Chain A
Amino acid sequence: MRANRSLEIGTGLFVLLGVAALLFLTTQLPASGMKFGFGKPAGYEVTAEFDNIGDLKVGAPVKMAGVRIGEVTRIDFDTNSERAEVWMNIYKKFNQIPMDSFASIDTEGLLGGEYISISPGGLQTYLKNGSRIEETQSALVLENLINKFFANFSNKSGSGSQGGSKGPK
Protein backbone atom coordinates (compact mmCIF):
# COMPACT_ATOMS: atom_id res chain seq x y z
CA MET A 1 0.00 0.00 0.00
CA ARG A 2 2.80 2.41 0.92
CA ALA A 3 4.69 1.63 -2.27
CA ASN A 4 1.52 2.19 -4.25
CA ARG A 5 0.96 5.54 -2.55
CA SER A 6 4.43 6.88 -3.28
CA LEU A 7 4.03 5.72 -6.88
CA GLU A 8 0.84 7.70 -7.20
CA ILE A 9 2.38 10.79 -5.60
CA GLY A 10 5.37 10.54 -7.92
CA THR A 11 3.12 10.25 -10.96
CA GLY A 12 1.00 13.16 -9.80
CA LEU A 13 4.08 15.31 -9.31
CA PHE A 14 5.40 14.41 -12.76
CA VAL A 15 2.08 15.10 -14.51
CA LEU A 16 1.70 18.40 -12.66
CA LEU A 17 5.23 19.46 -13.64
CA GLY A 18 4.60 18.49 -17.25
CA VAL A 19 1.30 20.34 -17.47
CA ALA A 20 2.84 23.40 -15.80
CA ALA A 21 5.65 23.33 -18.38
CA LEU A 22 3.13 23.05 -21.22
CA LEU A 23 1.12 25.95 -19.82
CA PHE A 24 4.28 28.02 -19.53
CA LEU A 25 5.15 27.32 -23.16
CA THR A 26 1.69 28.15 -24.51
CA THR A 27 0.92 31.21 -22.41
CA GLN A 28 4.27 32.82 -21.67
CA LEU A 29 6.25 32.40 -24.86
CA PRO A 30 4.07 33.49 -27.79
CA ALA A 31 3.32 37.16 -28.25
CA SER A 32 -0.37 36.30 -28.49
CA GLY A 33 -0.41 34.72 -25.03
CA MET A 34 -1.09 36.50 -21.79
CA LYS A 35 1.76 37.33 -19.52
CA PHE A 36 2.39 37.91 -15.90
CA GLY A 37 5.57 39.72 -14.95
CA PHE A 38 8.52 38.05 -13.27
CA GLY A 39 8.33 40.30 -10.22
CA LYS A 40 9.71 43.71 -11.10
CA PRO A 41 12.26 45.35 -8.81
CA ALA A 42 10.80 48.20 -6.79
CA GLY A 43 11.01 51.59 -8.41
CA TYR A 44 9.07 54.57 -9.62
CA GLU A 45 7.21 55.15 -12.85
CA VAL A 46 8.09 57.75 -15.45
CA THR A 47 6.48 58.41 -18.82
CA ALA A 48 7.71 59.86 -22.07
CA GLU A 49 6.15 60.51 -25.47
CA PHE A 50 7.86 59.70 -28.72
CA ASP A 51 6.95 60.44 -32.36
CA ASN A 52 8.05 56.97 -33.35
CA ILE A 53 9.20 54.16 -31.08
CA GLY A 54 10.38 51.92 -33.92
CA ASP A 55 10.75 48.37 -32.64
CA LEU A 56 10.76 49.13 -28.90
CA LYS A 57 9.10 46.43 -26.80
CA VAL A 58 7.80 46.00 -23.29
CA GLY A 59 10.65 44.72 -21.13
CA ALA A 60 13.30 46.65 -23.05
CA PRO A 61 15.93 48.24 -20.78
CA VAL A 62 16.19 51.91 -19.87
CA LYS A 63 19.82 52.92 -19.72
CA MET A 64 21.79 55.89 -18.58
CA ALA A 65 25.42 56.11 -19.70
CA GLY A 66 25.01 52.48 -20.77
CA VAL A 67 23.98 51.28 -17.31
CA ARG A 68 20.60 49.65 -16.88
CA ILE A 69 18.49 51.82 -14.60
CA GLY A 70 15.04 50.47 -15.38
CA GLU A 71 12.79 48.91 -17.98
CA VAL A 72 9.84 49.66 -20.23
CA THR A 73 6.63 48.49 -18.57
CA ARG A 74 3.90 49.64 -20.96
CA ILE A 75 3.57 51.11 -24.45
CA ASP A 76 0.43 52.78 -25.72
CA PHE A 77 -0.73 55.20 -28.38
CA ASP A 78 -1.95 58.57 -27.15
CA THR A 79 -4.87 59.58 -29.39
CA ASN A 80 -4.75 63.24 -28.28
CA SER A 81 -1.18 64.00 -29.19
CA GLU A 82 -1.00 61.17 -31.76
CA ARG A 83 2.29 60.03 -30.38
CA ALA A 84 3.48 56.86 -28.67
CA GLU A 85 3.45 56.96 -24.90
CA VAL A 86 5.96 54.81 -23.03
CA TRP A 87 5.84 53.96 -19.33
CA MET A 88 9.13 53.11 -17.64
CA ASN A 89 9.92 51.62 -14.27
CA ILE A 90 13.10 53.25 -12.92
CA TYR A 91 14.80 51.36 -10.07
CA LYS A 92 14.49 53.01 -6.69
CA LYS A 93 18.19 53.70 -6.14
CA PHE A 94 18.44 55.90 -9.24
CA ASN A 95 16.37 58.70 -7.72
CA GLN A 96 18.46 61.70 -8.76
CA ILE A 97 17.74 61.99 -12.46
CA PRO A 98 17.23 65.67 -13.40
CA MET A 99 13.74 66.74 -14.55
CA ASP A 100 15.05 68.09 -17.86
CA SER A 101 16.75 64.85 -18.89
CA PHE A 102 16.59 63.76 -22.49
CA ALA A 103 15.21 60.37 -23.58
CA SER A 104 16.06 58.81 -26.92
CA ILE A 105 15.52 55.39 -28.45
CA ASP A 106 18.77 53.73 -29.46
CA THR A 107 19.68 50.37 -30.95
CA GLU A 108 22.09 47.85 -29.44
CA GLY A 109 24.47 47.11 -32.27
CA LEU A 110 23.35 46.91 -35.88
CA LEU A 111 20.83 44.08 -35.49
CA GLY A 112 20.18 44.42 -31.79
CA GLY A 113 17.08 45.22 -29.83
CA GLU A 114 16.08 48.80 -29.04
CA TYR A 115 16.30 50.49 -25.67
CA ILE A 116 15.67 53.90 -24.13
CA SER A 117 18.74 55.94 -23.43
CA ILE A 118 18.50 58.80 -20.95
CA SER A 119 21.00 61.66 -21.00
CA PRO A 120 20.92 63.71 -17.80
CA GLY A 121 19.98 67.40 -17.87
CA GLY A 122 21.18 70.10 -15.49
CA LEU A 123 18.22 70.89 -13.23
CA GLN A 124 18.38 70.31 -9.49
CA THR A 125 14.82 68.93 -9.37
CA TYR A 126 14.58 65.22 -9.97
CA LEU A 127 12.19 62.83 -11.72
CA LYS A 128 9.76 61.18 -9.35
CA ASN A 129 6.83 58.79 -9.60
CA GLY A 130 4.47 59.97 -12.35
CA SER A 131 6.88 62.49 -13.91
CA ARG A 132 7.06 62.94 -17.63
CA ILE A 133 10.25 63.32 -19.62
CA GLU A 134 9.50 66.16 -22.06
CA GLU A 135 12.57 66.09 -24.28
CA THR A 136 12.56 63.00 -26.46
CA GLN A 137 14.02 61.77 -29.69
CA SER A 138 12.41 59.08 -31.82
CA ALA A 139 13.91 55.81 -32.85
CA LEU A 140 16.21 55.92 -35.83
CA VAL A 141 14.49 53.68 -38.35
CA LEU A 142 17.26 52.33 -40.50
CA GLU A 143 15.11 52.06 -43.65
CA ASN A 144 14.15 55.73 -43.42
CA LEU A 145 17.77 56.71 -42.97
CA ILE A 146 18.77 54.73 -46.04
CA ASN A 147 15.94 56.30 -48.03
CA LYS A 148 17.04 59.77 -46.99
CA PHE A 149 20.62 58.97 -47.81
CA PHE A 150 19.75 57.82 -51.32
CA ALA A 151 17.40 60.75 -51.88
CA ASN A 152 20.19 63.13 -50.86
CA PHE A 153 22.71 61.25 -52.88
CA SER A 154 20.69 61.37 -56.11
CA ASN A 155 19.92 65.09 -55.61
CA LYS A 156 23.56 65.84 -55.00
CA SER A 157 24.79 63.87 -57.97
CA GLY A 158 22.18 65.64 -60.13
CA SER A 159 23.32 69.11 -59.04
CA GLY A 160 26.90 67.93 -59.09
CA SER A 161 26.81 67.18 -62.79
CA GLN A 162 25.30 70.61 -63.45
CA GLY A 163 28.07 72.21 -61.46
CA GLY A 164 30.57 70.13 -63.41
CA SER A 165 29.27 71.41 -66.75
CA LYS A 166 29.59 74.97 -65.51
CA GLY A 167 33.06 74.49 -64.13
CA PRO A 168 35.18 74.31 -67.30
CA LYS A 169 33.81 77.52 -68.83
Chain B
Amino acid sequence: MSDGSREGVLEGLRKTGVTALFFGRLLGACVPALGRPRLIIAQIYNAGARSLIIIMLSGLFTGMVLGLQGYDLLHRFGATSALGTAAALSLLKELGPVLTALLFAGRAGTALTSEIGLMRATDQLTAMEVMAVDPLRHVAAPRFLGGLIALPLLTAIFIVVGLFGAQLVGVQMMGVDRGIFWSQMQSAIALKDVTEGVVKSVAFGAVLSLIAVNEGYHADPTAEGVGRATTRTVVASSVMTLLLDYVLTAAFL
Protein backbone atom coordinates (compact mmCIF):
# COMPACT_ATOMS: atom_id res chain seq x y z
CA MET B 1 0.00 0.00 0.00
CA SER B 2 1.46 3.35 -1.02
CA ASP B 3 1.97 6.08 1.50
CA GLY B 4 -0.59 8.36 -0.14
CA SER B 5 -3.45 5.86 -0.08
CA ARG B 6 -2.66 4.84 3.48
CA GLU B 7 -2.75 8.47 4.46
CA GLY B 8 -6.12 8.76 2.70
CA VAL B 9 -7.57 5.78 4.55
CA LEU B 10 -6.32 7.08 7.87
CA GLU B 11 -7.77 10.52 7.14
CA GLY B 12 -11.13 8.94 6.27
CA LEU B 13 -11.08 6.96 9.49
CA ARG B 14 -10.21 10.09 11.45
CA LYS B 15 -13.12 12.03 9.91
CA THR B 16 -15.52 9.21 10.76
CA GLY B 17 -14.21 9.16 14.30
CA VAL B 18 -14.51 12.93 14.63
CA THR B 19 -18.13 12.77 13.46
CA ALA B 20 -18.99 9.95 15.86
CA LEU B 21 -17.34 11.69 18.80
CA PHE B 22 -19.06 14.94 17.85
CA PHE B 23 -22.40 13.14 17.73
CA GLY B 24 -21.83 11.80 21.24
CA ARG B 25 -20.91 15.23 22.60
CA LEU B 26 -23.83 16.78 20.73
CA LEU B 27 -26.29 14.34 22.31
CA GLY B 28 -24.78 15.15 25.70
CA ALA B 29 -25.30 18.85 25.02
CA CYS B 30 -28.90 18.32 23.91
CA VAL B 31 -30.20 17.66 27.43
CA PRO B 32 -29.12 21.05 28.91
CA ALA B 33 -30.10 22.72 25.61
CA LEU B 34 -33.70 21.61 26.24
CA GLY B 35 -33.66 24.01 29.18
CA ARG B 36 -33.53 26.90 26.71
CA PRO B 37 -36.55 26.28 24.48
CA ARG B 38 -36.33 29.78 22.95
CA LEU B 39 -33.13 28.88 21.12
CA ILE B 40 -34.79 25.72 19.78
CA ILE B 41 -37.94 27.58 18.74
CA ALA B 42 -35.82 30.02 16.75
CA GLN B 43 -34.21 27.09 14.95
CA ILE B 44 -37.54 25.36 14.27
CA TYR B 45 -38.57 28.64 12.70
CA ASN B 46 -35.41 28.81 10.59
CA ALA B 47 -35.40 25.19 9.47
CA GLY B 48 -39.13 24.52 9.41
CA ALA B 49 -41.41 27.50 9.09
CA ARG B 50 -39.23 29.16 6.45
CA SER B 51 -39.18 25.94 4.38
CA LEU B 52 -42.96 25.71 4.46
CA ILE B 53 -43.69 27.35 1.11
CA ILE B 54 -41.17 25.31 -0.88
CA ILE B 55 -42.32 22.09 0.82
CA MET B 56 -46.00 22.75 0.15
CA LEU B 57 -45.38 23.72 -3.47
CA SER B 58 -43.23 20.64 -4.07
CA GLY B 59 -45.78 18.44 -2.31
CA LEU B 60 -48.62 19.81 -4.38
CA PHE B 61 -46.86 19.21 -7.68
CA THR B 62 -45.55 15.80 -6.63
CA GLY B 63 -49.11 14.79 -5.78
CA MET B 64 -50.45 16.19 -9.04
CA VAL B 65 -47.84 14.31 -11.06
CA LEU B 66 -48.69 11.13 -9.14
CA GLY B 67 -52.33 11.73 -10.02
CA LEU B 68 -51.52 12.12 -13.72
CA GLN B 69 -49.00 9.29 -14.03
CA GLY B 70 -50.98 6.98 -11.78
CA TYR B 71 -54.14 7.62 -13.73
CA ASP B 72 -52.41 7.02 -17.05
CA LEU B 73 -50.86 3.76 -15.82
CA LEU B 74 -53.93 2.40 -14.02
CA HIS B 75 -56.24 3.41 -16.85
CA ARG B 76 -54.47 0.88 -19.10
CA PHE B 77 -55.52 -1.89 -16.72
CA GLY B 78 -58.97 -0.50 -16.03
CA ALA B 79 -58.05 -0.06 -12.40
CA THR B 80 -58.30 3.70 -11.91
CA SER B 81 -60.18 3.08 -8.68
CA ALA B 82 -56.82 2.12 -7.15
CA LEU B 83 -55.46 5.62 -7.83
CA GLY B 84 -56.04 6.82 -4.27
CA THR B 85 -54.29 3.81 -2.80
CA ALA B 86 -51.34 4.05 -5.18
CA ALA B 87 -50.85 7.77 -4.59
CA ALA B 88 -51.19 7.51 -0.82
CA LEU B 89 -48.83 4.56 -0.45
CA SER B 90 -46.10 6.04 -2.62
CA LEU B 91 -46.38 9.42 -0.88
CA LEU B 92 -46.42 7.97 2.63
CA LYS B 93 -43.67 5.43 2.28
CA GLU B 94 -41.20 6.91 -0.19
CA LEU B 95 -41.83 10.20 -1.92
CA GLY B 96 -42.90 12.14 1.15
CA PRO B 97 -39.97 11.34 3.46
CA VAL B 98 -37.27 11.23 0.76
CA LEU B 99 -38.23 14.31 -1.25
CA THR B 100 -38.78 16.35 1.89
CA ALA B 101 -35.38 15.26 3.20
CA LEU B 102 -33.66 16.20 -0.07
CA LEU B 103 -35.38 19.60 -0.13
CA PHE B 104 -34.56 20.07 3.54
CA ALA B 105 -30.88 19.34 2.88
CA GLY B 106 -30.82 21.96 0.14
CA ARG B 107 -32.90 24.58 1.91
CA ALA B 108 -32.10 24.23 5.63
CA GLY B 109 -29.01 22.01 5.80
CA THR B 110 -26.86 24.36 3.73
CA ALA B 111 -28.01 27.35 5.75
CA LEU B 112 -27.04 25.57 8.98
CA THR B 113 -23.60 24.59 7.71
CA SER B 114 -22.69 27.99 6.32
CA GLU B 115 -23.99 29.77 9.42
CA ILE B 116 -21.99 27.64 11.84
CA GLY B 117 -19.02 27.58 9.46
CA LEU B 118 -18.99 31.37 9.33
CA MET B 119 -19.18 31.51 13.10
CA ARG B 120 -16.14 29.25 13.13
CA ALA B 121 -14.34 31.35 10.48
CA THR B 122 -15.00 34.61 12.31
CA ASP B 123 -13.89 33.08 15.62
CA GLN B 124 -17.30 33.50 17.25
CA LEU B 125 -17.21 29.92 18.49
CA THR B 126 -13.74 30.43 19.97
CA ALA B 127 -14.92 33.64 21.63
CA MET B 128 -17.77 31.73 23.23
CA GLU B 129 -15.35 29.15 24.56
CA VAL B 130 -13.17 31.91 25.99
CA MET B 131 -16.21 33.30 27.80
CA ALA B 132 -16.86 29.81 29.20
CA VAL B 133 -20.03 29.51 27.10
CA ASP B 134 -20.26 26.06 25.55
CA PRO B 135 -20.87 26.58 21.80
CA LEU B 136 -22.08 22.99 21.52
CA ARG B 137 -24.85 23.72 23.96
CA HIS B 138 -25.76 27.17 22.65
CA VAL B 139 -25.13 26.88 18.91
CA ALA B 140 -24.95 23.27 17.77
CA ALA B 141 -27.51 21.50 19.96
CA PRO B 142 -30.45 23.88 19.37
CA ARG B 143 -29.87 23.65 15.61
CA PHE B 144 -29.71 19.88 15.74
CA LEU B 145 -32.91 19.64 17.79
CA GLY B 146 -34.65 22.22 15.60
CA GLY B 147 -33.93 20.16 12.48
CA LEU B 148 -34.91 16.95 14.21
CA ILE B 149 -38.32 18.40 15.13
CA ALA B 150 -38.90 20.33 11.91
CA LEU B 151 -38.28 17.59 9.33
CA PRO B 152 -41.00 15.12 10.46
CA LEU B 153 -43.52 17.96 10.59
CA LEU B 154 -42.50 19.15 7.12
CA THR B 155 -42.82 15.58 5.85
CA ALA B 156 -46.34 15.23 7.21
CA ILE B 157 -47.33 18.51 5.57
CA PHE B 158 -45.74 17.42 2.29
CA ILE B 159 -47.70 14.15 2.30
CA VAL B 160 -51.05 15.73 3.11
CA VAL B 161 -50.64 18.47 0.50
CA GLY B 162 -49.52 15.78 -1.97
CA LEU B 163 -52.63 13.72 -1.30
CA PHE B 164 -54.85 16.68 -2.06
CA GLY B 165 -52.78 17.37 -5.18
CA ALA B 166 -53.39 13.79 -6.32
CA GLN B 167 -57.09 14.13 -5.60
CA LEU B 168 -57.17 17.44 -7.49
CA VAL B 169 -55.87 15.78 -10.65
CA GLY B 170 -57.42 12.32 -10.20
CA VAL B 171 -60.89 13.34 -9.08
CA GLN B 172 -61.46 16.87 -10.35
CA MET B 173 -59.62 16.57 -13.67
CA MET B 174 -59.64 12.89 -14.58
CA GLY B 175 -63.00 12.00 -13.11
CA VAL B 176 -62.12 9.16 -10.76
CA ASP B 177 -65.00 8.84 -8.30
CA ARG B 178 -64.27 10.82 -5.11
CA GLY B 179 -65.83 8.21 -2.84
CA ILE B 180 -63.85 5.39 -4.42
CA PHE B 181 -60.64 7.43 -4.35
CA TRP B 182 -60.81 7.95 -0.57
CA SER B 183 -62.53 4.74 0.56
CA GLN B 184 -60.18 2.45 -1.38
CA MET B 185 -57.26 4.41 0.05
CA GLN B 186 -58.53 4.13 3.60
CA SER B 187 -59.25 0.43 3.40
CA ALA B 188 -55.86 -0.40 1.91
CA ILE B 189 -53.63 1.60 4.25
CA ALA B 190 -52.70 0.30 7.68
CA LEU B 191 -51.33 2.30 10.57
CA LYS B 192 -48.02 0.52 9.92
CA ASP B 193 -47.66 2.33 6.60
CA VAL B 194 -48.05 5.69 8.32
CA THR B 195 -45.56 4.64 11.01
CA GLU B 196 -43.03 3.74 8.33
CA GLY B 197 -43.20 7.24 6.88
CA VAL B 198 -42.92 8.89 10.30
CA VAL B 199 -39.99 6.71 11.40
CA LYS B 200 -38.18 7.47 8.15
CA SER B 201 -38.68 11.20 8.51
CA VAL B 202 -37.43 11.18 12.12
CA ALA B 203 -34.35 9.20 11.09
CA PHE B 204 -33.69 11.59 8.19
CA GLY B 205 -34.17 14.54 10.52
CA ALA B 206 -31.53 13.22 12.92
CA VAL B 207 -29.00 12.28 10.24
CA LEU B 208 -29.37 15.41 8.09
CA SER B 209 -29.18 17.77 11.07
CA LEU B 210 -26.13 15.94 12.37
CA ILE B 211 -24.40 16.18 9.00
CA ALA B 212 -25.18 19.87 8.59
CA VAL B 213 -24.10 20.85 12.11
CA ASN B 214 -21.01 18.63 12.00
CA GLU B 215 -19.81 19.97 8.65
CA GLY B 216 -20.27 23.56 9.79
CA TYR B 217 -18.61 22.96 13.14
CA HIS B 218 -15.55 21.35 11.57
CA ALA B 219 -15.31 23.57 8.49
CA ASP B 220 -11.94 25.09 7.59
CA PRO B 221 -12.10 28.62 9.00
CA THR B 222 -11.76 30.27 5.58
CA ALA B 223 -14.26 31.51 3.00
CA GLU B 224 -13.30 28.62 0.76
CA GLY B 225 -13.56 26.12 3.61
CA VAL B 226 -17.10 27.19 4.46
CA GLY B 227 -18.08 26.89 0.81
CA ARG B 228 -16.67 23.38 0.59
CA ALA B 229 -18.33 22.36 3.84
CA THR B 230 -21.69 23.52 2.47
CA THR B 231 -21.20 21.47 -0.68
CA ARG B 232 -20.23 18.42 1.38
CA THR B 233 -23.40 18.85 3.43
CA VAL B 234 -25.61 18.63 0.35
CA VAL B 235 -23.73 15.68 -1.13
CA ALA B 236 -23.48 13.70 2.11
CA SER B 237 -27.11 14.46 3.04
CA SER B 238 -28.48 13.33 -0.32
CA VAL B 239 -26.45 10.12 -0.40
CA MET B 240 -27.21 9.29 3.22
CA THR B 241 -30.93 9.93 2.67
CA LEU B 242 -31.15 7.47 -0.20
CA LEU B 243 -28.92 4.90 1.49
CA LEU B 244 -30.78 5.07 4.78
CA ASP B 245 -34.08 4.94 2.89
CA TYR B 246 -33.13 1.58 1.44
CA VAL B 247 -32.06 0.22 4.81
CA LEU B 248 -35.22 1.39 6.56
CA THR B 249 -37.47 0.10 3.80
CA ALA B 250 -35.81 -3.30 4.01
CA ALA B 251 -36.20 -3.27 7.80
CA PHE B 252 -39.92 -2.47 7.53
CA LEU B 253 -40.89 -5.00 4.88
Contacts and interface: CB of A to CB of B under 8 A. Distances in A.
Interface string B194-211: 100110000000000000
B45 A14 contact: yes
Given A30-B193, A61-B177, A11 B183 contact: no
Given A21-B159, A26-B194, A111-B77, A11 B186 contact: no
Nearest to B187: A31
A161 interface: no
A118 to B, nearest CB: 15
Interface residues of A, number: 38
B44 interface: yes
Interface residues of B, number: 41
A112 interface: yes
B209 to A, nearest CB: 16
Contacts of A156: none
B198 A14 contact: no
Nearest to A6: B45
B186 A29 contact: yes
Contact of A112 (B81, B153, B156): B81
B21 interface: no
B154 interface: yes
B179 interface: yes
B48 A18 contact: yes
**Would you call the interface of chain B mostly helix, strand, loop, or mixed?**
helix
B79 interface: yes
Interface string A54-71: 000111110000001001
Interface string B114-158: 000000000000000000000000000000000000101110110
Contact of B185 (A7, A14, A29): A29
Contacts of B98: none
A22 B189 CA distance: 15
Interface string B167-199: 000000000010110111111111101100110
Interface string B37-52: 0000110110011101
Given A8-B41, A14-B45, A112-B80, A29 B189 contact: yes
B160 A25 contact: yes
Interface string B12-42: 0000000000000000000000000000011
B159 A11 contact: no
A70 to B, nearest CB: 9
Given A8-B41, A29-B88, A110-B78, A60 B153 contact: no
Contacts of B179: 59-61, 71-72
A158 interface: no
B183 A60 contact: yes
A58 B154 CA distance: 31
Interface string B78-93: 1111100000100010
A13 B180 CA distance: 33
Contacts of B189: 29-31
Interface string B53-75: 00000000000000000000000
A23 B41 CA distance: 21
Contacts of A33: 191
A14 B44 contact: yes
Contacts of B184: 57, 113
30 contacts: A7-B45, A11-B42, A11-B44, A11-B48, A14-B44, A14-B52, A14-B153, A18-B156, A18-B157, A19-B153, A21-B153, A21-B157, A22-B198, A24-B160, A25-B156, A25-B197, A25-B198, A29-B186, A31-B190, A38-B182, A57-B183, A59-B183, A61-B177, A108-B78, A109-B81, A110-B78, A112-B79, A113-B82, A113-B177, A113-B183
Among all A-B residue pairs, the 4 with the closest Cβ atoms: A18-B153, A109-B78, A59-B183, A21-B156
